[in-house]
Amino acid sequence: MLNHAFGCYLDVALEKGDVIKEPSHLLKTKRINIAIPLYALEQIDKYEKSHNINRSTFLVESALKRVGV
C-alpha cells in the first residue's frame, strides 16, 4: 500500500514538474566548519530560499560546478 501511495505521489509530482531530489540519506556526508563573510552568507540565504534548497545543497552544487563535476 505504501509503495502505491508513493508511486501516486511521484506521478503527480512529475506531472506538475516538481523536482524530485535524490534522497540525502543515500549519500555519505561529513560535517565541516567553515568561515564565510556575512555578506556572502546573506546572498546565499536569499538564493537558497527562493530556489527551495538549503545552504549545504547550494554550497555543494556550487563547488562541484566550479571544479567541473
Q: What does the pLDDT look like over 18-31, one tens digit per residue?
A: 887 777 666 778 88
Residue 54 CB partners (closer than 8 Å, separation 6+): 48
Measured CA to CA, the distance from residue 32 to residue 3 in angstroms comes to: 35
CB–CB of 14/20 below 8 Å?
yes
pTM: 0.57
Q: pLDDT at position 2, please?
A: 63
Q: pLDDT at position 27, please?
A: 72
- Choices 1.10.1220, 3.60.10, 1.10.3290, 3.90.1280: CATH for 21-69: 1.10.1220
| CA dist list (Å): 49 to 9, 42, 43, 44 | 24, 11, 10, 8
